[in-house]
Amino acid sequence: QSADERSVAIPRYVRVNTALWTTEQAIEYFGSLGFTLFTDPVSPSAQGKEFSKDIHVPNLLVFPSQTSFADDYAYQNGKLILQDKASCFPAVVLAPPASDDAAVIDATAAPGNKTSHLSAIMKNRGKIYAFERDRKRFTTLETMLAKAQCSNVHPVNTDFLLVDPYDEKYGAVTHILLDPSCSGSGIVNRLDHLVESDPKEADAINSDSRLSKLAAFQLKMIKHAMQFPKVKKIVYSTCSIHATENEHVVRDALASAEANENSFALAPRNEALPSWPRRGLSDEMASGEDASSVIRCSPGEDHTNGFFVSCFIRRAAQSESSS
Ligand code: SAM
């Protein structure tokens, strides 16, 4: 399958921004525009005005791939967010609480799709510190957060690696979302992605030396996240299909001193989107680690872009939650 063929196999996913209205209201709205709601998943290649509710991600609607939202009133007003299904998984797995004392970090936030998703899950309560290192992308993040009316987000234009985990400002942080720069090798449909760079050569994206550099950076980011004293859950995701950036980074993070000192382990499958069938590559994990704890999406085949999601939990938190 070519990248174009895989791209055609991806429907148009639209996340309802539940900070501004409900999915029932959005369904009514689309009904008034002449769309028909189907119980069965719509085909990406359907030509009519039809849609369905996604079966894995709450508040996600699925339309045929050719559906355009550029002129849509609700999209223009931040009530709908165009976001690939797989890229909705990290916030669903992190599942931060909707409480006034909740404190969450989105370590690599721009353009802000996942930040606004976290904000909606938290019902705009508590606090999300959204870090973004790049100045231009930070401006995009601010625009996106304003449009989606995320009032519980504090965006900060800084490098997450320079944020002191022991700063008392972050003393209450319990959940961290880590979706750092990656090769982007899983992306076959760039429509809803603001890519960081657009290397012309596929070889450049996938070269071993580039992947090793990215993996070293990704590992550093996870180890940094593990040092926040109260953090009990860290979700690490990429839009890469390479084990070097996925299972291998997870394996190395679990073997690190930071994971051992702070007692981090992988959350079991039943805490990480258990209904999603495609899981990690067991040959690429450390022996003794359960590859079904992590999530993979195969570009095109799963009606999504290629994606990877893992969830680290502090062991003490694990026994608390299971007791
Ligand atoms: N989570 C975002 C979303 O769903 O909209 C996409 C994040 S994108 C894959 C990675 C982002 O991390 C880029 O905007 C990049 O500039 C930023 N970034 C990379 N290294 C960073 C660092 N050390 N600290 C903060 N941001 C960083």
**Residue type (1 letter), 85:** K
- Total domains in the chain come to 2
220, β-bridge pairs: none
Question: Does 181 have pLDDT greater than 50?
Answer: yes
Which ligand 1 atom lies nearest to the CA of residue 87?
4
Query: What percentage of the chain reaches a pLDDT higher than 90?
Result: 84
**Residue type (1 letter), 295:** I
The catalytically annotated residue of 150, 182, 239, 297 is 239
Instruction: Name the nearest CA neighbour of 126 among 168, 93, 96.
Output: 96
CATH number of 231's domain: 3.40.50.150
CA 179 to ligand 1 centroid distance, Å:
6
239 is an active site residue: yes
Task: Please list every protein residue whose CB sits less than 6 Å from any atom of ligand 1.
Answer: 87, 108-114, 131-134, 137, 159-161, 179-181, 196
Which residue lies with its CA nearest to atom 22 of ligand 1? 159
Question: Does 186 have pLDDT greater than 50?
Answer: yes
Return d(Cα 8, Cα 234) in angstroms, integer: 33
Reduced to 3 states (helix: H, G, I; strand: E, B; else coil), residue 156 is strand
**31 and 132 part of one domain:** no
**Interior angle at CA 37, CA 36 and CA 39, nearest 5:** 140
Confidence of residue 117 (pLDDT cuts 50, 70, 90): very high
- Cβ within 8 Å of residue 312, ≥6 positions away: 222, 226, 233, 234, 235, 236, 253, 254, 259, 264, 265, 266, 267
End-to-end alpha carbon distance in the chain: 47
Question: Does 18 have pLDDT greater than 60?
Answer: yes
Reduced to 3 states (helix: H, G, I; strand: E, B; else coil), residue 260 is helix
Which ligand 1 atom lies nearest to the CA of residue 83?
4
Residues 127 and 114 sit within 8 Å (Cβ to Cβ): no
Of 57, 82, 107, which residue is a domain's last? 82
**98 and 75 part of one domain:** no
CATH number of 69's domain: 3.30.70.1170
Confidence of residue 5 (pLDDT cuts 50, 70, 90): low
**68 and 92 part of one domain:** no
CA 134 to ligand 1 centroid distance, Å:
8
Confidence of residue 203 (pLDDT cuts 50, 70, 90): low
Say which residue the tokens 């995009």 belong to.
140
24 annotated as a binding-site residue? no
Regarding pTM above 0.80, the answer is yes
Ramachandran bin of 228, using left for φ above 0, alpha for ψ from -120 to 50, beta for the remaining angles:
beta
**182 and 274 part of one domain:** yes
Which residue lies with its CA nearest to atom 17 of ligand 1? 108
**218 and 123 part of one domain:** yes
Of 64, 82, 100, which residue is a domain's last? 82
Joined together, the tokens standing for residue 160 give 């997450």
Rg for the chain (alpha carbons), in Å?
Answer: 19
**241 and 259 part of one domain:** yes
Distances (CA, A) of 284 to 70, 122, 291: 41, 34, 8
Residues 187 and 193 sit within 8 Å (Cβ to Cβ): yes
* Probe target for ligand 1 pocket from 133, 187, 194, 220, with the most ligand atoms within 8 Å of CB: 133
Residues 5 and 188 sit within 8 Å (Cβ to Cβ): no
Average pLDDT of the residues in 111-122: 98
Domain that holds residue 315: 87-322
132 annotated as a binding-site residue? yes
Which ligand 1 atom lies nearest to the CA of residue 159?
24
**99 and 14 part of one domain:** no
Which residue lies with its CA nearest to atom 11 of ligand 1? 108
**163 and 238 part of one domain:** yes
**154 and 62 part of one domain:** no
**139 and 236 part of one domain:** yes
**75 and 114 part of one domain:** no
**92 and 34 part of one domain:** no
* Probe target for ligand 1 pocket from 108, 114, 140, 143, with the most ligand atoms within 8 Å of CB: 108
CA 216 to ligand 1 centroid distance, Å:
15
Asked casually if ipTM beats, i.e. exceeds, 0.95, the reply is yes
Of 25, 50, 82, which residue is a domain's last? 82
Which residue lies with its CA nearest to atom 18 of ligand 1? 108
User: pLDDT at position 190, please?
Assistant: 56
Instruction: Name the nearest CA neighbour of 52 among 67, 42, 64, 66.
Output: 42
CA 214 to ligand 1 centroid distance, Å:
13
CA 156 to ligand 1 centroid distance, Å:
12
Burial class, 38, CB count within 10 angstroms (exposed 0-12 / middle 13-18 / buried 19+)? middle
Confidence of residue 125 (pLDDT cuts 50, 70, 90): very high
179 annotated as a binding-site residue? yes
Burial class, 115, CB count within 10 angstroms (exposed 0-12 / middle 13-18 / buried 19+)? buried
